[in-house]
Structure 1
Amino acid sequence: MTSQPPLAKVDTAPDGPAGPTPADGQGSDGLQAGLKNRHLSMIAIGGVIGAGLFVGSSAGIAAAGPAILVSYAIVGLMVVLVMRMLGEMAAARPSSGSFSAYADMALGRWAGFSIGWLYWFFWVVVLAVEATAGAVILNGWIPAVPQWGWALIVMVVLTGTNLASVASYGEFEFWFAGIKVVAIAAFVLIGVLAVFGVLPGSDNPGAGFANLTAHGGFLPNGAGSILTGVLMVVFSFMGSEIVTLAAGESANPQRAVRKATNSVIWRIAVFYLGSIFVVVALLPWDSESIVEDGSYVAALNSIGIPHAGQIMNVIVLTAVLSCLNSGLYTASRMAFSLGKRGDAPAAFARVNERGVPRAAILGSVVFGFAAVWFNYQWPETVFQFLLNSSGAVALFVWLVICFSQLRLRGVIARETPEKLVVRMWLFPYLTWVTIAGIVFVIGYMLFDEAGRTQMALSLLVAVLVVAVSLVKHRGARV
């Protein structure tokens, strides 16, 4: 192998290679080590269960039929490999900026700046999406409060918990994620029993594997529908990486990252593949109820679970609140890290006496409030642009993680080999295979009618951010 060129210099000690790692109960970069092991464990488990799994899977099933299982498996494998790479870097060099800081070290200041701000942009737009989704559910229960009022209440409450302390964020997320995990686990267990006809009192005939092939075959819409399904489900996996940001505010980040990385396989297998298998095995994939009621509600109705719609609304609301809570935390910590590296206002890098980056949180939530307002004022124009232009950020993040790991692996092995407690499998071959897979998905989106607009606008915004970064850092060197 050829020797690697030297890493780009990072002009900040806390997030750079020489910065201290959390130890003795202290968080990184002035943040407090307020997250307990149980918080991090549940953040890791719940991070891969977004509201998109509950509300977005029906469209994927309608597009690909039972073959949507292959779509989820492909994206799930991609996430497992990317998380393995990120876990390798995060265990060796915990940082509040996670992959943005690693891109800074490995690829240059422009890369850390660009991917950091794109990721921040993604999550503040998600804040608006989830606040609106939660408001719709709450307004259905208590219509006396208008939707915008519920969106405001939800945003204010979760902003307050994040401002209080990182421990309060962790506690809220522990219970939100816990409800999601229990609900999905119960759904899979009950569903599997019903699929094979051994659930007492089930209204479903229990067809076993028959529904996977009985209605036009396993690939009713052709092999190309698998790739269409990939495009539809890829963004529901965003969030797996949150634990690597949160680990910097724990007493033992290396242990937390190693545990999260090693468990990502079974988490995806059970929560995604397991639950989608239950849906397509219980019901014909072309059942109108899957689209009309939603895949999970339709599956519960087929079993005869009373009040399935309201039960699922409670679970979806919990998922929405969890995503909002984590989205605000994640956006603020990325803004904090960018501030530490001089790529965001200096105020973002300051913490209060409780170790909370108050300015970074408020700066993120202000944009989130603005996005909520756009959603109500101009849902088909301004807000749609925000959605489309942030939609492909997940793929950009994964690609940057891959290239960063390619460069940092050799440096870590050379300088601190004892910290390589998590290793990417078959390095560098699987890293290159993952890169090829992500590039293929990006290219396919550009040629797919449904994904072209989203990818084109996301690439446009990415190019603009990279251009700003190159100008900024070129000017800093003059």
Structure 2
Amino acid sequence: MTDPAVPPEHLRRSLSNRHLQLIAIGGAIGTGLFMGSGKTISLAGPSIVLVYLIIGAMLFFVMRAMGELLLSNLQYKSFIDFSTDLLGPWAGFFCGWTYWFCWIITAIADVIAIAAYAQFWFPELAPWIPALLCVVLLLSLNLVTVKLFGEMEFWFALIKIIAICALIITGFGLVAWGFTAPSGHVASFSNLWNDGGVFPMGMAGFFAGFQIAVFAFVGIELVGTTAAETADPERNLPKAINSIPVRILVFYVLALIAIMAVTPWREVVPGKSPFVELFVLAGIPAAASLINFVVLTSATSSANSGIFSTSRMMYGLAEEGHAPSAFRRLSRAAVPALGLVFSCVCLLLGAMLIYLIPNLVTAFTLVTTLAAVLFMFVWSLILCSYIVYRRKRPHLHAASAFKMPGGVLMCGVCLAFFAFVLVLLTLQPDTLYALAISPLWFALLGLGYAGKRLLARRH
């Protein structure tokens, strides 16, 4: 028996299959789907369905590579561990700190979104109040136990799933009924191709869709940060990863088809959530309030995931000697409490900085593009680790029960795809600006790593 008065030395495997499945779903359905889909539809037209399918397929292979690596050695707690082991200490340092920064940025974007959604019900309330309350609530809940994080994420994700399923059923129901909108448009699947075809905005519009759609998928790799706290990882991790394609088909593809079948793509307003518009058309008066509640829980769920994963990254970085050793200490509930508090302070400082930028949309685009660029760096490191693993540890690959389909060849295809997306980010001025400032982060990391090595030599 362990003494409850003594803090544990290791993270506990407290997350069940139920928690892991819903964390994986919650990770795959970002706030980007609810809020960003209007803009992506107006940019790419019906071809946006293909955009989501292509990105989803590429990220499925990244997740399979990560799954094989995590299961090849159960001592790996997250992708920091295998990138350090296979690529070298620099990779663990760059991967861990970049992933930590990614989630801080994403959580800042979510906190801004939460403040904006709260104004829907409380227009008189100063936006910083809901932002602060949300962070304090999530911090206090995350400090209790990891099981409580899993439970919160389970219910948050469930709300998102029910909302999307309701949207799909409503959309398909309106098509079957032959519903005619006040604008005179009849709900029909032919709306997907009868106005300029599947690629009405040409290849330029199709490519423009990738920039925003990539951000909708950030968090899909969350399953990898929960590996050390997952009960029976050999059974539960493959189940969570293998169900990703089905989720992408249901939650992204069917939802977008339902929206564009009812509201022709030209009628979709970029600044409004097409989810709200569809329920309003269906004659549900409380639609705006309902969807506002769903989007609020979606943003809270994403911020919750961010706070969880940043604290685990801090713990992993400290374990590898890439961060101060104080972050290795766990509370009695086996939670890296100092990492949680540190991440929440950074999140609040970042959110306060955002309020200094007058145009929130500009700030949001900048923040989300920067996050997408840095997430692609982390995904690329996972693929590079896999390529090295195949070369250095062929015996482990041969013994693996969860081999990555396509192996090294698919890693090359995915890496080429990420390079292609980076080129696409240069096409728009707002995304180009975020891409141009991203090297500053890597320069800062390079200085930090050089300083760390210098200190290690002196000692």
Match of 1:279 in 2: 259
Q: Is the 8 A contact 2:208 2:424 kept in 1?
A: no
1:50 to 30, 38, 54: 30
TM-score between both structures, scaled by the size of structure 2: 0.91
The change in CA–CA distance for 1:159 and 1:140 in structure 2 (over 3 A counts) is same
1:328 is displaced (CA, Å) by 0.2
The Cα shift of 1:410 comes to 4.4
Does structure 1 retain, via aligned residues, the 8 Å contact 2:28–2:218? yes
String of CA shifts for 1:135-184, please: whole Å, max 9, x gaps: 22223313454221111111101100111110111111111011111211
CA shift, 1:475, in A, is: 5.8
- SS in structure 2 opposite 1:377? coil
* Residue of 427, 433, 450 corresponding to 2:413: 433
Is the Cα contact below 8 Å between 1:124 and 1:331 reproduced in 2? yes
Gaps of 5+ in 2: 1-7
Quote the Cα distance in structure 2 between the aligned partners of 1:470 and 1:399: 22
SS in 2 for 1:352: coil
Counterpart of 2:282 in structure 1 is 303
Match of 1:404? 385
Q: Residue 87 of structure 1 aligns with which residue? A: 67
SS at structure 2 position matched to 1:355: coil
2:43 maps to what in 1? 63
Query: What is the rounded CA distance, in whole Å, between the counterparts of 1:292 and 1:416 in structure 2?
Result: 48
CA contact (8 A) 2:386 2:408 kept: no
Distance across 2 between alignment mates of 1:416 and 1:406: 11
Distance 1:415 1:423, change over 3 A: closer
What one-letter code is carried by the residue in structure 1 that aligns with 2:317?
Answer: L
Aligned length: 448
- What is the Cα deviation at residue 255 of structure 1? 1.8
- 2:356 pairs with 1:377: yes
Indicate if the aligned counterparts of 2:52 and 2:213 stay in contact, CA closer than 8 A.
yes
RMSD: 2.5
The equivalent residue for 1:146 is: 126
Question: Is the 2:84–2:90 Cα contact (8 Å) retained in structure 1?
Answer: yes
* Change in CA separation of 1:432 and 1:29 when aligned onto 2, cut-off 3 Å: farther
Q: Which residue of 219, 222, 232 corresponds with 2:199?
A: 219
Give CA-to-partner distance per residue, 1:342-388, whole Å, 9 cap, x none.
10111111101210101111111110111121122345699677665
More deviation, 117-126/328-337: 117-126
**Contact 1:63/1:228 (<8 A) preserved:** yes
Contact (CA 8 Å) 1:371, 1:383: kept in 2 or not?
Answer: no
One-letter code aligned to 2:274: S
Letter aligned with residue 369 of structure 1: L
Q: Which runs of 5+ in 1 are unaligned?
A: 1-27
Mapping for residues 114-193 of structure 1, pairs under 5 Å? 114-143=94-123, 145-193=125-173
Distance 1:281 1:472 in 2: 56
- Contact 1:139/1:145, CA 8 A, preserved across alignment: yes
Tell me the distance in 1 between the aligned counterparts of 2:290 and 2:131: 21
Tell me which amino acid in the other structure corresponds to 2:14: G
1:365 paired to 2:321 = no
Bigger RCO (CA 8 Å, 6+ sep) = 2
Q: Which residue of 1 aligns with 2:189?
A: 209
2:21 is paired with a residue whose SS is helix
Is 1:342 equivalent to 2:354 in the alignment?
A: no
Q: Distance in 1 between matches of 2:168 and 2:391?
A: 42
Q: Does 1:326 align with 2:305?
A: yes
Amino acid at match of 1:238: V
SS at match of 1:324: helix
Assess if the C-alpha contact under 8 Å between 2:215 and 2:369 holds in 1: no
Q: Percent identity?
A: 34
Q: Indicate if the aligned counterparts of 1:92 and 1:254 stay in contact, CA closer than 8 A.
A: no
Alpha carbons of structure 1 residues 96 and 324: separation in structure 2 relative to 1, 3 Å: farther
Q: CA deviation at 1:404?
A: 0.8
Q: Does 1:243 align with 2:223?
A: yes
Compute the displacement of 1:412 (Å).
4.5
Structure 1 residues 87 and 101: CA distance shift in structure 2, 3 A:
same
After superposition, what is the alpha-carbon deviation per residue over 1:49-70, rounded to whole angstroms, capped at 9, x for unaligned? Answer: 1111100111111111111111
**SS class of match (1:356):** coil
Q: What secondary structure does 2:318 align onto? A: helix
Instruction: Give the direction of change, closer, same or farther, for the CA distance of 1:466–1:168 in structure 2 (3 Å limit).
Output: same
Following superposition, the deviation at residue 276 of structure 1 comes to 1.1
Tell me by how many angstroms 1:108 deviates: 1.3
Query: Does 1:312 find its partner at 2:295?
Result: no
Cα gap change, 1:405/1:29 in structure 2, threshold over 3 Å: closer, same or farther?
farther
1:457/1:97 CA distance change after superposition, 3 Å: farther
Q: What is the CA-CA distance between 1:187 and the residue it aligns to?
A: 1.5
Q: 1:292 to 1:47 in 2, by over 3 A?
A: closer
SS at structure 1 position matched to 2:266: coil
Change (3 A) 1:293 1:416: closer
Change in 2 beyond 3 A, CA 1:474/1:211: farther
Structure 1 residue 95 displacement after superposition = 6.0
Q: Which moved more, 1:93-102 or 1:437-446?
A: 93-102
* Deviation of the 1:415 alpha carbon: 4.5
